[in-house]
């Protein structure tokens, strides 16, 4: 579960190659958000600091070099965790 406010989202390419990673979110009300760009950490590993502004379920649509690659649901609630890895607490 993600929390309201800023969250770090990680993305890993299947072959660990360098690509341009982008995503867009469909908000809980069905509205589509703008394209977001990920930053590279290492070859094939990327992150995005994203601000979830309302409670509910968001749909993330992920692209590698502009080609649709994956989708994922992000549940945003009020519970807060100190550490996140792909949306789940480490402990």
What are the structural domain ranges in the chain? 2-77
In 3D, which of 20, 53, 51 has the Cα closest to residue 38?
Answer: 20
- Cβ atoms of 9 and 70 within 8 Å: the answer is no
In 3D, which of 72, 39, 54, 52 has the Cα closest to residue 5?
Answer: 52
How far are the Cα atoms of 21, 68, 79, 80, 84 from residue 65, in angstroms, in the given order? 6, 9, 34, 33, 26
Q: What is the pTM of this model?
A: 0.80
Assess if CATH 2.60.40.1930 describes domain 2-77: yes
- Cβ atoms of 56 and 12 within 8 Å: the answer is no
43-84 confidence digits (pLDDT tens) = 899 999 999 999 999 999 999 999 999 999 999 997 655 444
């Amino acid at each position: 579960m993600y929390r309201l406010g800023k969250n770090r989202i990680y993305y890993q390419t299947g072959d660990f190659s360098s690509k341009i990673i982008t995503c867009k979110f469909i908000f809980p009300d069905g509205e589509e958000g703008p394209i977001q760009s990920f930053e590279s950490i290492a070859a094939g590993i990327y992150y995005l600091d994203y601000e979830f502004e309302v409670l509910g379920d968001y749909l993330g649509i992920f692209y590698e070099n502009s080609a649709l690659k994956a989708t994922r649901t992000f549940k945003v609630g009020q519970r807060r965790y100190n550490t996140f890895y792909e949306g789940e607490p480490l402990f």
